[in-house]
Chains A and B, each alone.
Chain A
Amino acid sequence: MVSALYIIVAGLGGAFALGLFREDKKQAAFLATLLILAFMSLVALGWTVALATGAAAPFDIITAGTQPPFAINLRLGLAEAVVLSVVTGTGLFSAVFMRDALIEHGQRAMAVLLVLIMALSGLVMTRDVFNMFVFIELIVIASAGMVLLNDNLNAVAAGFKYLVISQVISILLLIGIIFVYHANGSLNIDDIAATPLGFTGPSLAIFLVLIALLLELKPFPANGWALDIYEAANPGFSAIFSAASGTAALFAADKLFAAAGSDWLILATFVGLFTFVGANVLALSQNNDRRLLGYSSVGQIGLALVVIGQRDILGDSFLYVAGGIVLTHAVAKAGLFYLSNCVPGRNIVDWAALRRMPVLIFAFAVFIAMLIGLPPFPGFYAKWDLAHTLAAADRLPVLGLILVGTLIEAGYMFRWFGYALKRDYAEGIRLLAAPNKGIAIAAALIAGWALGYVWGDLSGNVNLLTAVPILFALAFIPLDFLPAWVKNVFAIAGLCVWFFIRMPVYDPMQMLFAAIMLIGGAVVFLASFAFTDGGKRIGFYAPAMLMYAGLALLVEAQTSFGFFAAWEMLTIGSYFLILRGKLSEPHALSYILFSLGGAFALLFGFALASGGVQPFALDGLAEVSANAAPWVFVLLAIGFMTKTASMGFHIWLPGAHAEAETDVSPMVSGILLKAGLFGLFVLLTHMGHQTLYGIELTRVLVWIGALSAFIGAVLAIFQEDAKRLLAYSSISQMGYAVFGLALMNHLGWLMALMFVINHYVYKSMLFLAVGGVYKRTHTKLMYQMGGLITLMPFTFVSVLVGIIAMSGVPPLSGFGGRWIFYNAILESADRLPLILVFMAGPVGFLYLFRLIHTIFLGQLKDEHRKTKEAPFWLVLPQMIYVVFLIAFAALPGMLLQKVDGYIGTLFNDQPLVWGGWAGREIFSQYGYWNPVAIWIVIVAVFVTVFLILMGLNHNAQKVKQFNIVYSAERPYKPQTTHFAWNFFAPYRKAMGMLEAPVVTTFWTGVTDALSGTAAFGRKLYTGNGQTYAIHVLFFVVATYLIAMGGAS
């Protein structure tokens, strides 16, 4: 194999050799540059493979024929080889990417690029501190040269600021190096490691070296210069600056931190955390795409620095964790910088133009997912392991800050993605795409997925890219060219087949949830046939199936990792689904933020519960140590309640569900919310009652459930938008379920399960019905509808059945839920929340009445006179639901008896007796429920009344629709005189204070405070190079004082 030294030889020799080309042979010189870079990359990759597979052992390259420390030695271990691959690979593809600029500037620019990559490689391999200094200076000179590829004032000014800072850094570094040498007698890193300089005596020397290397990493807030480079330079170079230089500098810093001894790690941790959180907060108010990417780069490198700071506890997994974070960042950031050069505008809103090439949107989504650390990319596995190690070592504040920083980063990244997907772009706009850019972006994409596979393979947990449901979902991405109806058939078939394959392994509880999520999902997909329209529906099936894949894996997850990975999958999938709605951009953002916040709470909780031991079986939740258990409970419960949209975490739901597409609403409402309930089931099954500071936590849940049930219902009655009404109603319904679960008794759980089934059925049905009305009338505002009963009879029937079921009156299945509920609360001691839940019932009646009254009864609008029934494929699933509801109401034992028995095994009791009249009667301590008899009575009463009315029909007097006029006046604002507008005005007077957006105000306050901090904080970066140099000096002094103060 070619010696790694040839990476340096090729770079340096190539740079000189380029001078041999004639001035006008620029194409040939460019080709030669690419060949040299490709050679360097191949050598690096070859060593990576050889070292990773064990075909070669790590070795030192001795120079000048003399042993160190009398000559410089270079080292090549696995970590070096990987970083070299990143550096040379980025160099190669950035060169491809910058083809036009390089050819324009000729051989000199290409030589500078080769020197840069060579110097970065040298920095990675060398084991000599002074040699590091030399390579760093070479990098500075070459980088300043590359900045000039963009020959404009901003780039030149940024380059000059960079040089100013580099001068300051090199002064610090040189002084540090000479005194380290003075104290140690050697410049070799391994000799320095042999005699660690702690915080005593010559500590200032090593401090200067370390801080100089930290400054190379652009720590917040001493990094204004770097942001300018990111903003002004050619994106191809920015990719190198972020991915290659950043990674190499991190590696160099890591080498010295390892040598300096574990006393110094805390410096890396602090600077890293401060940088990660600070840079991400300030990024919130960025509008320039490249500057935003710069902030994000700074933050990510801070995160990597935190990982370096955890060297002492990470042990063997250090390379896995650090590599996962650093490599995903390098690949994703390079990809994003490449993408930025395809977009003709510099504002992040201009990225909407990417929609002209959907494959670029896909690339954008992948890069963002990588950056945030979502599965199945390496950052996900790395964060999981990091969280567990931190929890085991009791470094919880570090973990907390990492998660907060990540969430903030997710905030601006997903906001940006929302802009790209939803904002308008100028009609004739053209992307600045070119084949060479395509090659570079494709390389980043391939590298990202490949790394995802490798990291999954190396992980001690499951490789997500081998999980069948996920692969099935991902298969829809390349299949997106197929017609939508074909994909829809595949999707339905996939869900059903998976369910029947997995049926034998489910226990009754899992079976119930899986049936709702998978078979229920298939039924909802029937409605999707109404939206195929002979088109392809690009970008719908992959996220939808990703969500279902997540749900399928969630139900049968055995370990905390499997559960969490599935949770993240379904969150990502549902986010993309929700984002498809016309006006859903802000709602999708708040959905993903709450969901990720919840997911991070889960991650924290699981890490805490496991005590760092992996794999951690979910059953192990029962054996968490007594002092950690309540916190685990709180964290997991918060995580799950973000999905069930319980009061306090509910503000994402109404918009997300209401603005989603017609067939997406039932998916994210009827099905997705159940994931949160499933989580709560798992949590309560294993952890049961927990007490924190003397407060019984399940009682808190009881209250949250009751408040959600009541306030959700109150908010629902004041909605004008039919889908928003249904959305608020979901908050209320989930509140019931949470309440039932939190009662921690058999009947409470049975009631919660009853709501799981019922809510899926009637909420899916109602969303489809209202969606059908929307499709025909093009409005969701109820006061603009009316009198549709004769025009849309099937839809009317399903809404009628739906609201009867939901309101809990006999004979439909909602009554069964109520009946169990009444039994459950009679056993419970919590009177006050009980009354709240009780009151939610009649309030629910109000909004349901409004739904049917204002849409289907009353006056038909002129513009709706030609309205037709909803499309067949929308009506079909509704009719399936109607049949199911009637059957379930008559024979609840079909589904419930097994589940009831299963709950009995959990609580060791059996309060309900199934039997009596032909085995269809259910007895409890307080009474009995005979569904069939109820049906007979109701039908008999209905038929009797119906016959009487028929008999009286001859007395009825026909009137024309408009025989009441507005006193010959046309009202200015017609809807205000419509009876359906502000339908419950009297109630608003009485209960309006409950409508006050307290929670919304709170969360708005949080985000406003953050963006205020960002808008104010970024003023720090005045743009003046001297100010930046002063920042750097202050940063050094402050860090030194804090470090010494901390040590003494």
Chain B
Amino acid sequence: MSEIAMFTGFILILMGLYGALTHRDIIRMIVGFTIADAGVNIVLVSVGMMAGRTAPILDVIAPADAAAAIIDPVPQALVLTAIVIGLGITALMLAYAYRLFRFRGSLDISEFRDLKW
């Protein structure tokens, strides 16, 4: 199960990156990165997955048995943080896209090449 999840995650990362790096449209690039982010999050969760164990919620399980009964909670905590950060970055990128559009009336990344060399 966790292998499938991890595999899916990596596929999503590659798809996302491919999309972000081949589409010239800035909005599509941002969508691509969002997909890749989702893939990363899936990979993160899948690493913490342990077959046959339960969620790390301690009100059901006695804390004394917890270590053997629950899956590793750390990756899940990391994913939550990563999702929040991903949201922030995506929002910022969209704000940037809006500003870029206001400057040039275009969302084609290849048109913003005034600075080079």
Task: Give me the interface of B with A, judged by CB distance under 8 Å.
Answer: 13, 17, 20-22, 24, 26, 29, 33, 36-37, 40, 43-44, 47, 74-75, 78, 81-82, 85, 88-89, 92-93, 96-97, 99-100, 103-104, 109-110, 112-117
Of all chain A residues, the one with the shortest Cβ separation from B110 is A1024
24 A-B residue pairings within 8 Å (CB atoms): A130-B81, A148-B99, A153-B100, A153-B103, A156-B103, A158-B115, A160-B100, A163-B89, A166-B89, A167-B33, A170-B89, A171-B40, A178-B47, A178-B78, A227-B115, A291-B115, A1018-B117, A1019-B117, A1023-B117, A1024-B110, A1026-B29, A1026-B109, A1029-B21, A1033-B17
A182 touches B99 (CB 8 A): no
Contacts of A1030 in B (CB 8 A): 21
Contacts of A174 in B (CB 8 A): 40, 44, 82
Contacts of A187 in B (CB 8 A): 74
Contacts of B117 in A (CB 8 A): 1018-1019, 1021, 1023
Q: Separation in Å of the B79 CB from the closest CB of chain A?
A: 9
B112 touches A159 (CB 8 A): no
Given contacts A178-B43, A1023-B116, A1029-B21, contact A167 B36 (CB under 8 A): yes
B93 touches A163 (CB 8 A): yes
Contacts of B22 in A (CB 8 A): 1026
Asked if A204 is at the interface (CB within 8 A of a chain B CB), the reply is no
Partner of A1023, one of B13, B75, B114: B114
Contacts of B17 in A (CB 8 A): 168, 171, 1033
Contacts of A167 in B (CB 8 A): 20, 33, 36-37, 89, 93
Contacts of A227 in B (CB 8 A): 115
Contacts of A232 in B (CB 8 A): 115
Partner of A1025, one of B37, B104, B109: B109
Within 8 A of B (CB), among A989-1048: 1018-1019, 1021-1026, 1029-1030, 1033
Given contacts A154-B115, A178-B78, contact A144 B109 (CB under 8 A): no
Contacts of B96 in A (CB 8 A): 144, 156, 159-160, 163
Asked if A809 is at the interface (CB within 8 A of a chain B CB), the reply is no
B20 touches A164 (CB 8 A): yes
Asked if A141 is at the interface (CB within 8 A of a chain B CB), the reply is yes
Q: Separation in Å of the B42 CB from the closest CB of chain A?
A: 11
B115 touches A1023 (CB 8 A): yes
A156 touches B47 (CB 8 A): no
Asked if A134 is at the interface (CB within 8 A of a chain B CB), the reply is yes
Tell me, in angstroms, the Cα distance from A141 to B85 when the chains sit together: 9
Tell me, in angstroms, the Cα distance from A254 to B51 when the chains sit together: 37
Q: Separation in Å of the A395 CB from the closest CB of chain B?
A: 33
9 further contact pairs, Cβ within 8 A, besides A160-B26, A168-B17: A145-B92, A153-B104, A156-B100, A160-B97, A164-B33, A171-B13, A177-B78, A1026-B29, A1026-B109
B88 touches A141 (CB 8 A): yes
Q: Separation in Å of the B14 CB from the closest CB of chain A?
A: 10
Given contacts A153-B112, A1026-B109, A1030-B21, contact A182 B81 (CB under 8 A): no
Q: Is the interface of A mostly helix, strand, loop or mixed?
A: helix
* Residue from A157, A177, A231 whose CB has the most chain B CB atoms within 10 Å: A157
Interface string of A135-153 (1 = CB under 8 A from B): 0010011001100100001
Tell me, in angstroms, the Cα distance from A737 to B114 when the chains sit together: 57
Contacts of B33 in A (CB 8 A): 164, 167
Of all chain A residues, the one with the shortest Cβ separation from B23 is A1026
* Residue from A166, A181, A1018, A1019 whose CB has the most chain B CB atoms within 10 Å: A181
Asked if A179 is at the interface (CB within 8 A of a chain B CB), the reply is yes
* Residue from B13, B88, B114, B115 whose CB has the most chain A CB atoms within 10 Å: B115
Tell me, in angstroms, the Cα distance from A179 to B44 when the chains sit together: 9
Contacts of A443 in B (CB 8 A): none
Tell me, in angstroms, the Cα distance from A925 to B71 when the chains sit together: 99
A179 touches B47 (CB 8 A): yes
Of all chain B residues, the one with the shortest Cβ separation from A167 is B33
Contacts of A170 in B (CB 8 A): 85, 89
Number of A-B contacts (CB under 8 A): 117
Asked if A385 is at the interface (CB within 8 A of a chain B CB), the reply is no
Asked if A289 is at the interface (CB within 8 A of a chain B CB), the reply is no
Contacts of A447 in B (CB 8 A): none
B113 touches A1023 (CB 8 A): yes
Count A-side interface residues using an 8 Å CB cutoff.
48
Within 8 A of B (CB), among A151-202: 153-154, 156-161, 163-164, 166-168, 170-171, 174-175, 177-179, 181-182, 187
Asked if A720 is at the interface (CB within 8 A of a chain B CB), the reply is no
Tell me, in angstroms, the Cα distance from A153 to B113 when the chains sit together: 10
A154 touches B88 (CB 8 A): no
Asked if A228 is at the interface (CB within 8 A of a chain B CB), the reply is yes
Q: Separation in Å of the A165 CB from the closest CB of chain B?
A: 11
Contacts of B99 in A (CB 8 A): 148, 156
B109 touches A1024 (CB 8 A): yes
Partner of A134, one of B29, B85, B116: B85
A182 touches B47 (CB 8 A): yes
Tell me, in angstroms, the Cα distance from A99 to B94 when the chains sit together: 28
B92 touches A181 (CB 8 A): no
Given contacts A130-B81, A160-B26, A160-B100, contact A1029 B43 (CB under 8 A): no
Given contacts A159-B96, A181-B75, contact A154 B43 (CB under 8 A): no
Contacts of A177 in B (CB 8 A): 78
B100 touches A157 (CB 8 A): yes
A178 touches B100 (CB 8 A): no
Q: Separation in Å of the B20 CB from the closest CB of chain A?
A: 7
Tell me, in angstroms, the Cα distance from A1021 to B81 when the chains sit together: 34
Of all chain A residues, the one with the shortest Cβ separation from B104 is A153
Q: Separation in Å of the B106 CB from the closest CB of chain A?
A: 11
Q: Separation in Å of the B71 CB from the closest CB of chain A?
A: 13
Contacts of A141 in B (CB 8 A): 88-89, 92
Tell me, in angstroms, the Cα distance from A621 to B68 when the chains sit together: 69
Of all chain A residues, the one with the shortest Cβ separation from B91 is A141
Contacts of B116 in A (CB 8 A): 224, 1021-1023
* Residue from B75, B85, B88, B104 whose CB has the most chain A CB atoms within 10 Å: B85
Contacts of A1023 in B (CB 8 A): 112-117
A178 touches B115 (CB 8 A): no
Interface string of A453-491 (1 = CB under 8 A from B): 000000000000000000000000000000000000000
Contacts of B44 in A (CB 8 A): 174, 178
A228 touches B100 (CB 8 A): no
Q: Separation in Å of the B18 CB from the closest CB of chain A?
A: 11
Given contacts A134-B81, A141-B88, contact A228 B115 (CB under 8 A): yes
A157 touches B115 (CB 8 A): yes
Of all chain A residues, the one with the shortest Cβ separation from B45 is A178
Contacts of B113 in A (CB 8 A): 157, 1022-1024
Partner of B93, one of A148, A160, A168: A160
Contacts of B21 in A (CB 8 A): 1026, 1029-1030, 1033
Given contacts A141-B89, A156-B103, contact A181 B109 (CB under 8 A): no
Of all chain A residues, the one with the shortest Cβ separation from B13 is A171
B36 touches A157 (CB 8 A): no
Tell me, in angstroms, the Cα distance from A910 to B107 when the chains sit together: 87
Tell me, in angstroms, the Cα distance from A777 to B113 when the chains sit together: 55
Tell me, in angstroms, the Cα distance from A165 to B49 when the chains sit together: 30
Contacts of A1029 in B (CB 8 A): 20-21
* Residue from B17, B78, B116 whose CB has the most chain A CB atoms within 10 Å: B116
Tell me, in angstroms, the Cα distance from A145 to B99 when the chains sit together: 12
Given contacts A1023-B113, A1023-B115, contact A163 B103 (CB under 8 A): no
Q: Separation in Å of the B91 CB from the closest CB of chain A?
A: 9
Q: Separation in Å of the A73 CB from the closest CB of chain B?
A: 16
Q: Separation in Å of the A52 CB from the closest CB of chain B?
A: 35
Contacts of B103 in A (CB 8 A): 153, 156
Contacts of B20 in A (CB 8 A): 164, 167, 1026, 1029
Contacts of A148 in B (CB 8 A): 99
